[in-house]
Structures are given as C-alpha cells and as structure tokens.
Amino acid sequence: MTMSKFNISVPEGLSIEDLHLTRDPVTGATEFNWAPLEAICRESGLDIALFRDMPEDNVAGLLMTWYRAHRDAGGAHDPVFEQLIAEAEAEDTFGEHRIQRGSHKPQ
C-alpha cells in the first residue's frame, strides 16, 4: 500500500494490526510496536528518527495517515484509532483544554 500524500510505502504483508496499538484508559497514553514503522521507513527510504526522535506530531501523522489508508482500502475498524481521531476532531472544534482524554474503559 502506498500513502502517496507523504510518499510513504507500506511493505507487502504489513498490516495496521501489527502495531498492536493500545491505550491506557486512565492516562490516555498510547503504546505500539515500533517494528512496523521501522519497516515502513526502510521501504520508503526514510530515517526512523524523523518519527522516533522528533515531535510526536510526526509519528501521530504517520499513524493516522496509515490508518485512514487502511480504512479506505476496506480494513477493519480499530477502536483505539477511532477514539484518537474523535479526540483530535473535538480538540479542533472546541480547543484542547476542553477535551477529556480517554474513555476510562479498557482499550
């Protein structure tokens, strides 16, 4: 799968589920497996440091772009991604200071 907007390619056989994205229901912190992002960077000729060592907006943008491409291709819904997207949209609408993070339910 190619995410042409950013000229990023996802290696054949790699899926969004390989991230094993989870979210702490109390703190809202997300965790995921970095190996799929490392594979994407190798495939795309990018330095993983662009995502690992830079502002978190870089990796968040990559993850969200990949998830949207996954969904556009008919991929399964992921509740953690959907919650993060809903929060980002609410922040854009109402401001970050007015949004409570997380559902306080296990993800």
pLDDT in tens, the chain (107 residues): 545 455 789 999 999 999 999 999 888 899 999 999 999 999 999 999 999 999 888 999 999 999 999 999 999 999 999 999 988 888 777 776 655 655 444 44
Who contacts 106 (Cβ-Cβ below 8 Å, separation ≥6)? Answer: 25
Q: Tell me, what's the pLDDT at 102?
A: 56
Which tokens belong to 80?
Answer: 């953690």
Q: Tell me, what's the pLDDT at 42?
A: 95
* Strand ranges inside 10-81, DSSP E: 22-23, 30-31
Q: Tell me, what's the pLDDT at 6?
A: 56
DSSP state of 55: -
pTM of the model: 0.79
Which tokens belong to 1?
Answer: 């799968």
